[in-house]
A = this chain, B = another copy of it.
Amino acid sequence: MTEYSIGLDLGGTNLRAAAIDREGKMLHLVTGRTQYSEGRDAIMTDMVEAITTVRDRQGATGLAGIGVVVPGFISLEEGVVRNCNNIPSLEDFPIRDQLSQRLNAAVILENDANAAALGEKWIGAGRDVNDLVLLTLGTGIGGGIICDGKMVRGFMGMAGELGHITVVPNGLPCGCGNRGCLEKHASATAISAMARLLGYGDATAKQVHERAVAGDERAREIFASMGESLGIALAMLVNAFNAPLYLLSGGVIGAWDFFAPAMLAEARRRSFSFRTTNTRVEKAKLGGEAGLFGAAYLPWAK
């Protein structure tokens, strides 16, 4: 009997559940059908069904555990999401205990970016290091920290909220209450907002990237600005952790060539440790799968 684990990733647009074995081989994948606009009950049912489908297929005998990752500030102790911009109906709802009850099995709840860092450490770009910091550049910016091989969770499970690091003290207002959060200056959403300010209308980050590729100087300036903000945050993270590896993931890293030079120059200027050590800043390897793999690894990471 092959030992396996079930991971579920409640992503930005839909959910996926997978059976994954101890070596990181995906045995079975199920994608949810629910639109998040259908509300909490539909999402919960969809999660239970996806996990049940995978478990029925693989059999309960070899199941090491179930890990579920969701976006937002997680309270580990209570197993609830305190703040979830993408799926507000899940806020302050006992997701973990409800899932556990309906599945009749223990469930480990974790933040998506923390899980992504764990996934990259397990079978991705971070395999060869014991310490790494991951930033997920998407609608928002998430963070995950691996220290001495283990995920940094914090006493309430809210560690790694690196998208809310201040990079501009009196910068753009953020839903978290702060101003100038990294995610307001360097996420895909921030890129769109900057494009709008420059008169591009409703351009997506991808469209801004296409303009930059085509030689549009203002589009390139947007990525330079975003890169500088990332560099300020990166310098702080290097000064704090002195990790050998910093990973970036998310669709925006397709524009690496346009933002990375500004990011690295800023980090070099702002961090003595960065300038004087062989600190690597790289693209993550697992892409959109990192959270799913990290979710599956949770039962083994305890």
Contact = CB atoms under 8 A, between A and B. Distances in A.
Given A152-B147, A157-B242, A177-B272, A167 B164 contact: no
A166 B236 contact: yes
A8 interface: no
Interface in A146-172: 147-148, 150, 152-162, 164-169
| Residue with the highest number of chain B CB atoms closer than 10 Å, among A148, A161, A276 | A161
Interface in A79-126: 82-83
Contacts of A177: 269-272, 275
A9 interface: no
A208 interface: no
Contacts of A162: 239-240
A111 to B, nearest CB: 11
B143 A240 contact: yes
Interface of A: 73, 82-83, 129-131, 143, 145, 147-148, 150, 152-162, 164-169, 176-179, 232, 235-237, 239-244, 269-273, 275-277
